[in-house]
Amino acid sequence: MTERTALYSPESLLALDGIDELERMKAVVNPFWNRARLDVTWSLPVMAGMTESSKISLQQMREATKEELLTFHDPSFVETLDLFGNTGSAFSARFGLDTDDCPVFPGVHRYARLPVGGVIDATIGVAKGKFKNAMSFVGGFHHAMESQAAGFCYLNDTVVAIKKYKEVNPGKKVLYLDTDVHHGDGTQKAFYADPDVLTISLHEKSMGFFPGTGKPEEMGIGEGKGYSVNVPLPPLTDDVEYWRAFEDAIVPIWQVYKPDLVFWNVGADAHFGDPLADLMLTFDTYHRLTMTVRQLVHEGERKLVAVGGGGYNPVTTAKVWTIVLAGLADMALPPVLPNKWLVLIEKYGLKMGRDGWTDRPSRMDEKHYPKVKRAVDDAINKVKELIFPVFGLE
Protein backbone atom coordinates (compact mmCIF):
# COMPACT_ATOMS: atom_id res chain seq x y z
CA MET A 1 0.00 0.00 0.00
CA THR A 2 1.29 3.45 -0.89
CA GLU A 3 1.97 5.86 1.94
CA ARG A 4 0.65 8.85 0.01
CA THR A 5 -2.53 10.80 0.65
CA ALA A 6 -4.67 11.33 -2.44
CA LEU A 7 -5.85 14.93 -2.71
CA TYR A 8 -8.56 15.67 -5.28
CA SER A 9 -8.16 19.01 -6.97
CA PRO A 10 -11.11 21.32 -7.74
CA GLU A 11 -9.22 22.95 -10.61
CA SER A 12 -11.74 21.53 -13.09
CA LEU A 13 -14.51 23.34 -11.19
CA LEU A 14 -12.51 26.56 -11.08
CA ALA A 15 -12.03 26.34 -14.86
CA LEU A 16 -15.81 26.53 -15.37
CA ASP A 17 -17.52 29.93 -15.43
CA GLY A 18 -21.06 29.01 -14.40
CA ILE A 19 -20.67 30.37 -10.87
CA ASP A 20 -19.51 33.69 -12.31
CA GLU A 21 -22.74 33.86 -14.29
CA LEU A 22 -24.64 32.89 -11.14
CA GLU A 23 -23.15 35.86 -9.29
CA ARG A 24 -24.22 38.16 -12.11
CA MET A 25 -27.74 36.71 -12.06
CA LYS A 26 -28.33 36.93 -8.30
CA ALA A 27 -28.34 39.94 -5.99
CA VAL A 28 -26.96 37.88 -3.10
CA VAL A 29 -23.89 35.65 -3.40
CA ASN A 30 -24.59 31.94 -2.88
CA PRO A 31 -22.75 30.97 0.34
CA PHE A 32 -21.44 27.71 -1.16
CA TRP A 33 -21.34 28.07 -4.93
CA ASN A 34 -19.12 31.11 -5.40
CA ARG A 35 -15.65 31.54 -6.83
CA ALA A 36 -14.12 33.15 -3.76
CA ARG A 37 -14.93 30.14 -1.60
CA LEU A 38 -13.62 27.57 -4.07
CA ASP A 39 -10.51 29.58 -4.93
CA VAL A 40 -9.51 30.66 -1.41
CA THR A 41 -9.94 27.22 0.16
CA TRP A 42 -7.97 25.43 -2.53
CA SER A 43 -5.26 28.06 -2.89
CA LEU A 44 -4.09 27.81 0.72
CA PRO A 45 -2.47 24.34 0.50
CA VAL A 46 -1.32 25.04 -3.06
CA MET A 47 0.37 28.36 -2.23
CA ALA A 48 1.86 26.81 0.92
CA GLY A 49 3.58 24.21 -1.28
CA MET A 50 1.80 21.32 0.38
CA THR A 51 0.44 19.89 -2.87
CA GLU A 52 4.01 19.44 -4.13
CA SER A 53 5.01 17.22 -1.21
CA SER A 54 5.99 13.61 -1.85
CA LYS A 55 3.36 12.69 0.74
CA ILE A 56 0.57 13.97 -1.52
CA SER A 57 -0.74 12.31 -4.67
CA LEU A 58 -2.57 15.08 -6.52
CA GLN A 59 -5.58 13.73 -8.39
CA GLN A 60 -8.07 15.33 -10.77
CA MET A 61 -11.83 15.04 -10.42
CA ARG A 62 -13.89 13.46 -13.16
CA GLU A 63 -17.58 13.69 -13.84
CA ALA A 64 -19.52 10.78 -12.38
CA THR A 65 -21.29 8.74 -15.04
CA LYS A 66 -25.05 8.47 -15.25
CA GLU A 67 -24.77 4.78 -14.34
CA GLU A 68 -22.86 5.67 -11.17
CA LEU A 69 -25.40 8.29 -10.18
CA LEU A 70 -28.26 5.84 -10.69
CA THR A 71 -26.91 3.63 -7.92
CA PHE A 72 -28.78 6.13 -5.69
CA HIS A 73 -30.47 8.93 -7.60
CA ASP A 74 -33.76 8.80 -9.48
CA PRO A 75 -33.33 8.83 -13.31
CA SER A 76 -35.80 11.69 -13.78
CA PHE A 77 -33.91 13.81 -11.25
CA VAL A 78 -30.55 13.19 -12.96
CA GLU A 79 -32.04 13.95 -16.39
CA THR A 80 -33.65 17.17 -15.14
CA LEU A 81 -30.37 18.35 -13.62
CA ASP A 82 -28.59 17.61 -16.91
CA LEU A 83 -31.24 19.50 -18.83
CA PHE A 84 -30.83 22.60 -16.67
CA GLY A 85 -27.06 22.38 -16.96
CA ASN A 86 -27.40 22.40 -20.73
CA THR A 87 -29.50 25.60 -20.61
CA GLY A 88 -32.75 23.77 -21.06
CA SER A 89 -35.82 24.13 -18.91
CA ALA A 90 -37.91 21.70 -16.91
CA PHE A 91 -40.40 21.49 -14.09
CA SER A 92 -38.08 21.97 -11.13
CA ALA A 93 -40.04 22.40 -7.91
CA ARG A 94 -40.50 18.68 -7.24
CA PHE A 95 -36.72 18.20 -7.50
CA GLY A 96 -35.74 21.07 -5.19
CA LEU A 97 -34.02 22.91 -8.03
CA ASP A 98 -33.85 26.61 -8.84
CA THR A 99 -34.04 27.68 -5.21
CA ASP A 100 -31.85 30.09 -3.25
CA ASP A 101 -29.78 27.16 -1.93
CA CYS A 102 -29.71 25.11 -5.14
CA PRO A 103 -29.90 27.60 -7.99
CA VAL A 104 -29.79 26.70 -11.65
CA PHE A 105 -26.89 28.19 -13.61
CA PRO A 106 -24.84 27.31 -16.70
CA GLY A 107 -23.04 23.99 -16.30
CA VAL A 108 -24.66 23.24 -12.95
CA HIS A 109 -24.75 19.53 -13.85
CA ARG A 110 -20.96 19.53 -14.26
CA TYR A 111 -20.46 21.31 -10.93
CA ALA A 112 -22.65 18.61 -9.39
CA ARG A 113 -21.08 15.61 -11.16
CA LEU A 114 -17.37 16.43 -10.84
CA PRO A 115 -17.12 16.10 -7.05
CA VAL A 116 -19.07 12.82 -7.15
CA GLY A 117 -16.66 11.26 -9.63
CA GLY A 118 -13.68 12.39 -7.57
CA VAL A 119 -15.09 11.03 -4.31
CA ILE A 120 -15.93 7.68 -5.94
CA ASP A 121 -12.34 7.40 -7.17
CA ALA A 122 -11.00 8.43 -3.76
CA THR A 123 -13.09 5.78 -1.99
CA ILE A 124 -12.28 2.95 -4.38
CA GLY A 125 -8.60 3.98 -4.48
CA VAL A 126 -8.32 3.83 -0.70
CA ALA A 127 -10.26 0.55 -0.57
CA LYS A 128 -7.84 -1.06 -3.06
CA GLY A 129 -4.76 0.25 -1.25
CA LYS A 130 -3.80 2.65 -4.03
CA PHE A 131 -3.63 5.46 -1.46
CA LYS A 132 -2.98 5.58 2.29
CA ASN A 133 -6.06 7.77 2.63
CA ALA A 134 -7.76 10.46 0.56
CA MET A 135 -9.37 13.88 0.80
CA SER A 136 -11.50 16.02 -1.47
CA PHE A 137 -12.12 19.58 -0.33
CA VAL A 138 -15.26 19.75 -2.51
CA GLY A 139 -17.49 16.95 -1.30
CA GLY A 140 -19.85 15.96 1.46
CA PHE A 141 -23.16 16.88 -0.19
CA HIS A 142 -25.11 15.11 2.51
CA HIS A 143 -28.47 16.88 2.09
CA ALA A 144 -29.16 15.62 -1.45
CA MET A 145 -31.94 13.04 -1.51
CA GLU A 146 -32.71 10.37 -4.08
CA SER A 147 -34.78 12.78 -6.17
CA GLN A 148 -34.34 16.15 -4.51
CA ALA A 149 -31.63 18.78 -4.17
CA ALA A 150 -31.37 20.71 -0.90
CA GLY A 151 -28.96 22.77 1.20
CA PHE A 152 -26.44 23.57 -1.60
CA CYS A 153 -26.37 19.84 -2.46
CA TYR A 154 -27.44 18.60 -5.89
CA LEU A 155 -26.04 15.05 -5.94
CA ASN A 156 -25.08 13.04 -2.86
CA ASP A 157 -21.44 12.04 -3.39
CA THR A 158 -21.23 10.41 0.04
CA VAL A 159 -24.06 7.97 -0.69
CA VAL A 160 -22.99 7.18 -4.27
CA ALA A 161 -19.36 6.56 -3.23
CA ILE A 162 -20.34 4.32 -0.32
CA LYS A 163 -22.73 2.36 -2.52
CA LYS A 164 -20.02 1.87 -5.15
CA TYR A 165 -17.66 0.71 -2.40
CA LYS A 166 -20.25 -1.80 -1.20
CA GLU A 167 -20.71 -3.12 -4.74
CA VAL A 168 -17.00 -3.96 -4.90
CA ASN A 169 -16.76 -5.03 -1.24
CA PRO A 170 -20.00 -6.80 -0.29
CA GLY A 171 -20.38 -7.46 3.43
CA LYS A 172 -17.78 -4.87 4.44
CA LYS A 173 -18.76 -2.31 7.09
CA VAL A 174 -18.62 1.45 6.60
CA LEU A 175 -18.63 4.12 9.29
CA TYR A 176 -19.90 7.44 7.97
CA LEU A 177 -18.82 10.15 10.42
CA ASP A 178 -20.43 13.56 9.88
CA THR A 179 -19.04 16.49 11.88
CA ASP A 180 -20.53 19.12 9.58
CA VAL A 181 -22.60 21.51 11.71
CA HIS A 182 -25.76 20.49 9.81
CA HIS A 183 -27.35 17.09 10.23
CA GLY A 184 -26.49 14.64 7.44
CA ASP A 185 -30.13 13.90 6.62
CA GLY A 186 -29.78 12.66 3.05
CA THR A 187 -26.99 10.22 3.84
CA GLN A 188 -28.75 8.97 6.96
CA LYS A 189 -31.96 8.33 5.03
CA ALA A 190 -30.14 6.40 2.30
CA PHE A 191 -28.74 3.87 4.80
CA TYR A 192 -31.49 3.98 7.43
CA ALA A 193 -32.16 0.25 7.23
CA ASP A 194 -28.59 -0.93 6.55
CA PRO A 195 -26.50 -2.26 9.47
CA ASP A 196 -23.42 -2.36 7.23
CA VAL A 197 -23.34 1.45 7.12
CA LEU A 198 -23.19 3.11 10.53
CA THR A 199 -24.03 6.81 10.16
CA ILE A 200 -22.93 9.10 12.99
CA SER A 201 -23.81 12.79 12.90
CA LEU A 202 -22.67 15.37 15.46
CA HIS A 203 -24.51 18.61 14.65
CA GLU A 204 -26.24 21.75 15.85
CA LYS A 205 -29.94 21.36 16.66
CA SER A 206 -32.05 24.41 17.44
CA MET A 207 -35.35 26.01 16.53
CA GLY A 208 -35.49 26.63 12.78
CA PHE A 209 -31.94 25.38 12.14
CA PHE A 210 -31.55 23.55 8.82
CA PRO A 211 -32.50 20.78 8.08
CA GLY A 212 -34.50 20.30 11.29
CA THR A 213 -33.72 16.59 11.64
CA GLY A 214 -31.14 14.67 13.67
CA LYS A 215 -32.75 13.76 16.99
CA PRO A 216 -31.28 10.78 18.90
CA GLU A 217 -34.58 8.96 18.37
CA GLU A 218 -33.78 8.81 14.63
CA MET A 219 -31.89 5.55 15.06
CA GLY A 220 -32.70 3.46 12.00
CA ILE A 221 -35.33 0.89 11.12
CA GLY A 222 -35.45 -2.87 10.62
CA GLU A 223 -32.02 -4.45 10.54
CA GLY A 224 -30.57 -0.96 10.61
CA LYS A 225 -32.12 -0.02 13.95
CA GLY A 226 -29.34 1.36 16.13
CA TYR A 227 -27.04 2.08 13.18
CA SER A 228 -28.07 5.72 12.77
CA VAL A 229 -26.54 7.75 15.59
CA ASN A 230 -27.36 11.40 16.17
CA VAL A 231 -25.75 13.71 18.72
CA PRO A 232 -27.60 17.06 18.57
CA LEU A 233 -25.82 19.98 20.20
CA PRO A 234 -27.22 23.34 21.33
CA PRO A 235 -26.02 26.71 20.06
CA LEU A 236 -22.93 28.03 21.89
CA THR A 237 -21.46 24.54 22.38
CA ASP A 238 -17.72 25.13 22.75
CA ASP A 239 -14.60 22.95 22.42
CA VAL A 240 -14.92 21.40 25.87
CA GLU A 241 -18.56 20.39 25.59
CA TYR A 242 -18.18 19.25 21.97
CA TRP A 243 -15.24 17.07 22.83
CA ARG A 244 -17.08 15.57 25.78
CA ALA A 245 -19.91 14.53 23.45
CA PHE A 246 -17.47 13.04 20.93
CA GLU A 247 -15.53 11.04 23.49
CA ASP A 248 -18.52 9.83 25.52
CA ALA A 249 -21.08 9.12 22.77
CA ILE A 250 -19.15 8.37 19.59
CA VAL A 251 -15.79 6.78 20.38
CA PRO A 252 -17.20 3.74 22.28
CA ILE A 253 -19.59 2.89 19.41
CA TRP A 254 -16.82 3.27 16.83
CA GLN A 255 -14.49 0.95 18.72
CA VAL A 256 -17.13 -1.77 19.00
CA TYR A 257 -18.37 -1.48 15.41
CA LYS A 258 -14.89 -2.00 13.90
CA PRO A 259 -15.52 -0.54 10.41
CA ASP A 260 -13.64 -1.65 7.31
CA LEU A 261 -13.81 1.86 5.83
CA VAL A 262 -14.29 5.25 7.50
CA PHE A 263 -15.84 8.06 5.47
CA TRP A 264 -15.50 11.42 7.24
CA ASN A 265 -17.55 14.46 6.25
CA VAL A 266 -15.52 17.14 8.05
CA GLY A 267 -17.44 20.41 7.73
CA ALA A 268 -15.77 23.66 8.76
CA ASP A 269 -19.02 25.33 9.75
CA ALA A 270 -18.95 24.35 13.44
CA HIS A 271 -16.14 26.89 13.87
CA PHE A 272 -17.18 30.01 15.78
CA GLY A 273 -16.35 32.17 12.75
CA ASP A 274 -18.96 30.58 10.50
CA PRO A 275 -21.81 32.94 9.55
CA LEU A 276 -24.50 30.26 9.13
CA ALA A 277 -24.23 28.42 12.47
CA ASP A 278 -23.88 29.01 16.19
CA LEU A 279 -21.39 26.49 17.59
CA MET A 280 -18.18 27.84 19.07
CA LEU A 281 -15.40 25.47 18.03
CA THR A 282 -11.85 26.71 17.52
CA PHE A 283 -9.16 25.31 15.26
CA ASP A 284 -7.89 23.31 18.26
CA THR A 285 -10.88 20.96 18.01
CA TYR A 286 -10.21 20.33 14.32
CA HIS A 287 -6.58 19.51 15.14
CA ARG A 288 -7.79 17.12 17.85
CA LEU A 289 -10.53 15.61 15.68
CA THR A 290 -8.02 14.85 12.94
CA MET A 291 -5.58 13.18 15.31
CA THR A 292 -8.34 11.17 17.00
CA VAL A 293 -9.87 10.03 13.72
CA ARG A 294 -6.41 9.00 12.51
CA GLN A 295 -5.81 7.04 15.72
CA LEU A 296 -9.16 5.22 15.54
CA VAL A 297 -8.68 4.46 11.85
CA HIS A 298 -5.19 3.13 12.58
CA GLU A 299 -6.64 0.75 15.18
CA GLY A 300 -8.88 -0.76 12.48
CA GLU A 301 -8.47 -1.40 8.76
CA ARG A 302 -6.64 1.90 8.18
CA LYS A 303 -8.91 3.04 5.34
CA LEU A 304 -10.10 6.65 5.51
CA VAL A 305 -11.71 9.05 3.05
CA ALA A 306 -12.41 12.65 4.07
CA VAL A 307 -14.49 15.29 2.30
CA GLY A 308 -14.72 18.99 3.08
CA GLY A 309 -18.45 19.42 3.64
CA GLY A 310 -19.78 22.85 4.58
CA GLY A 311 -18.05 26.00 5.73
CA TYR A 312 -19.16 29.48 4.72
CA ASN A 313 -16.36 31.73 5.92
CA PRO A 314 -13.81 30.97 3.16
CA VAL A 315 -10.78 31.99 5.23
CA THR A 316 -11.75 29.86 8.22
CA THR A 317 -12.79 26.97 5.98
CA ALA A 318 -9.48 27.03 4.12
CA LYS A 319 -7.59 26.75 7.41
CA VAL A 320 -9.78 23.93 8.76
CA TRP A 321 -9.45 21.79 5.65
CA THR A 322 -5.71 22.43 5.40
CA ILE A 323 -5.31 21.43 9.06
CA VAL A 324 -7.15 18.18 8.32
CA LEU A 325 -5.10 17.56 5.16
CA ALA A 326 -1.83 18.05 7.06
CA GLY A 327 -2.97 15.59 9.71
CA LEU A 328 -4.03 12.92 7.22
CA ALA A 329 -0.81 13.24 5.21
CA ASP A 330 1.39 13.46 8.33
CA MET A 331 2.77 16.83 7.19
CA ALA A 332 3.75 19.89 9.16
CA LEU A 333 1.72 23.01 8.57
CA PRO A 334 3.80 25.91 7.21
CA PRO A 335 4.97 28.18 10.04
CA VAL A 336 3.33 31.24 8.47
CA LEU A 337 0.47 31.73 6.06
CA PRO A 338 1.68 32.29 2.47
CA ASN A 339 1.85 35.95 1.52
CA LYS A 340 0.33 35.19 -1.90
CA TRP A 341 -2.69 33.73 -0.15
CA LEU A 342 -3.08 36.81 2.04
CA VAL A 343 -3.07 38.91 -1.14
CA LEU A 344 -5.72 36.61 -2.65
CA ILE A 345 -8.13 36.94 0.25
CA GLU A 346 -7.67 40.70 0.18
CA LYS A 347 -8.50 40.64 -3.54
CA TYR A 348 -11.82 38.96 -2.72
CA GLY A 349 -12.52 41.48 0.04
CA LEU A 350 -12.33 38.87 2.81
CA LYS A 351 -11.10 39.47 6.35
CA MET A 352 -8.37 37.46 8.02
CA GLY A 353 -9.18 37.72 11.71
CA ARG A 354 -6.32 36.21 13.67
CA ASP A 355 -3.27 35.16 11.66
CA GLY A 356 -1.87 31.62 11.85
CA TRP A 357 -3.33 28.20 12.61
CA THR A 358 -4.76 28.71 16.10
CA ASP A 359 -7.47 30.73 17.80
CA ARG A 360 -7.43 32.37 21.17
CA PRO A 361 -8.84 29.93 23.77
CA SER A 362 -12.52 30.60 24.17
CA ARG A 363 -15.37 29.41 26.37
CA MET A 364 -19.01 30.30 26.35
CA ASP A 365 -20.34 33.00 28.64
CA GLU A 366 -20.76 31.63 32.16
CA LYS A 367 -24.46 32.43 32.22
CA HIS A 368 -25.09 30.06 29.26
CA TYR A 369 -23.01 27.18 30.60
CA PRO A 370 -25.66 25.38 32.74
CA LYS A 371 -28.17 25.24 29.86
CA VAL A 372 -25.61 24.16 27.29
CA LYS A 373 -24.13 21.50 29.57
CA ARG A 374 -27.60 20.15 30.35
CA ALA A 375 -28.47 19.91 26.65
CA VAL A 376 -25.19 18.14 25.87
CA ASP A 377 -25.76 15.78 28.82
CA ASP A 378 -29.22 15.00 27.45
CA ALA A 379 -27.83 14.18 24.00
CA ILE A 380 -25.11 11.91 25.39
CA ASN A 381 -27.52 10.14 27.74
CA LYS A 382 -30.05 9.57 24.95
CA VAL A 383 -27.39 7.96 22.77
CA LYS A 384 -26.32 5.76 25.68
CA GLU A 385 -29.93 4.79 26.37
CA LEU A 386 -31.00 4.11 22.77
CA ILE A 387 -27.83 3.07 20.92
CA PHE A 388 -25.33 1.63 23.38
CA PRO A 389 -27.38 -1.56 24.06
CA VAL A 390 -27.31 -2.39 20.33
CA PHE A 391 -23.51 -2.57 20.56
CA GLY A 392 -23.37 -4.31 23.93
CA LEU A 393 -22.25 -1.14 25.69
CA GLU A 394 -23.45 -0.06 29.09
Distance between CA atoms of 296 and 177, rounded to whole angstroms?
A: 12
Q: Is the dihedral of CA 327, 332, 334, 340 positive or negative?
A: negative
DSSP letter (8 states) at residue 276: T
| Total residues found in the chain within this entry | 394
CA dist., res. 394 & res. 384, Å (int): 7
The three-state secondary structure class of 250 is helix
Concerning whether 271 is annotated as a catalytic residue, the answer is no
Max CA separation in the chain (angstroms): 56
3-state helix, strand, coil in the chain (%, to 5): 45, 15, 45
Tell me the CA distances in angstroms from 15 to 4, 11, 135, one per residue in order: 26, 6, 20
* 3-state DSSP assignment of residue 257: helix
* Helix (H), strand (E) counts: the chain: 14, 8
Task: Please report which helix (H) or strand (E) contains residue 84, including its range.
Answer: helix 75-85
Residue 296 identity: L
Catalytic residue among 143, 183, 203, 287: 143
Report DSSP letters for 316-380, one per residue: HHHHHHHHHHHHHHT-PPPSS--HHHHHHHHHTT----S-SS--------TTTHHHHHHHHHHHH
Contact at 8 Å (CB) between 268 and 320? yes
Q: Residues 178, 180, 185, CA angle at the centre, nearest 5°?
A: 65
Residues identified as active-site: 143
